[in-house]
Structure 1
Amino acid sequence: MAGSLQLKKSGGILIAPSLLSADILNMERHIEALEGEADWLHVDIMDGHFVPNLSYGPALVKALRRKYPGAFLDVHIMVEPAEDFLDMFISAGASLIALHIEAAKHIYRALQKIKDAGLYAGVALDPGTSEELLAPVMHMTDLILVMSVNPGYGGQSFIAETLNKTRALSELRRERGFNYLIEMDGGAGPKNIAQIAEAGCDVVVAGSAVFGHPSPASVIREMRRLARRR
Structure 2
Amino acid sequence: MTNSSATQPLIVPSVLPADFARIGDEVVELCDAGVDRIQWDVMDGVFVPNITFGPDVIAAARPHSTVGFEAHLMVVDPDELLKRYVDAGCELIIVHAEACTHLHRTLGHIRDLGARSAVALNPHTPAEVVAHVLSETDLILAMTVNPGFGGQSYIPSVEPKIARLRTMIDESGLPIELEVDGGITDKTIGGAAAAGADVFISGSWMYAHPDGKAAAVKQLRTTALESTPYVDVAL
TM-score by length of 2: 0.90
Check the 8 A contact 2:37/2:67 in 1, yes or no.
yes
53, 56, 70: which one aligns with 1:56: 53
Within the candidate set 123, 146, 150, 1:154 is matched to: 150
The aligned amino acid for 1:45 is V
Deviation of 1:176 (Å) = 2.5
Deviating beyond 6 angstroms after TM superposition, the runs of 4 or more aligned structure 1 residues are none
SS of residue paired to 2:185 = coil
Match of 1:12 among 8, 20, 23: 8
Offset at 1:213?
A: 2.2
Specify every segment of 5 or more residues in structure 1 that has no aligned partner in the other structure, as ranges. Answer: 1-5
- Taking a change above 3 Å as real, the CA distance of residues 30 and 212 of structure 1, as seen in their structure-2 partners, is farther
Aligned counterpart for 1:26 among listed residues 22, 29, 36: 22
1:188 matched residue in structure 2 = 184
Residues 1:47 and 2:44 are matched in the alignment: yes
Contact 2:28 2:64 in 1 (8 A): no
Residues 63-115 of structure 1, C-alpha deviations (whole Å, 9 max, x = no match):
122222x4210110000111111121121111100000111111111111111
8 Å contact kept, 2:39–2:69:
yes
Instruction: Provide closer, same or farther for how the CA distance between residues 33 and 76 of structure 1 changes in structure 2, counting only shifts above 3 A.
Output: same
Provide the rounded CA distance (Å) in 2 between the counterparts of 1:47 and 1:130.
24
Alignment partner, residue 123 of structure 1: 119
Task: Report how many residues are paired.
Answer: 221
Contact 1:58 1:92 survives alignment (8 Å): yes
Q: CA deviation at 1:216?
A: 1.0
Mapped to 1, the partners of 2:69 and 2:25 lie a distance apart of 17
Instruction: Could you tell me which runs of 5 or more consecutive residues in structure 2 were left unpaired when the two chains were aligned.
Output: 228-235
CA distance in 2, matches of 1:171, 1:94: 28
Could you say what secondary structure the match of 2:8 adopts? Answer: coil
The match for 2:232 is none
Counterpart residue number, 2:195: 199
Residue 60 of structure 2 aligns to which amino acid in structure 1? A
Match of 1:76 in 2: 72
Q: What is the DSSP-based 3-state SS (H/G/I as helix, E as strand, rest coil) of the residue aligned with 2:81?
A: helix
RMSD over aligned CA atoms reads 1.4
Q: 1:216 aligns with which of 213, 217, 226?
A: 213
Deviation at 1:135, TM superposition (A): 1.4
Q: Distance in 2 between matches of 1:86 and 1:118?
A: 11
Q: 1:142 aligns with which of 101, 117, 138?
A: 138
- The residue that corresponds to 2:35 in the other structure is 38
CA contact under 8 A between 2:25 and 2:64: conserved in structure 1? no
Q: Supply the distance in 2 between the matched residues of 1:150 and 1:80 (Cα, whole angstroms).
A: 15
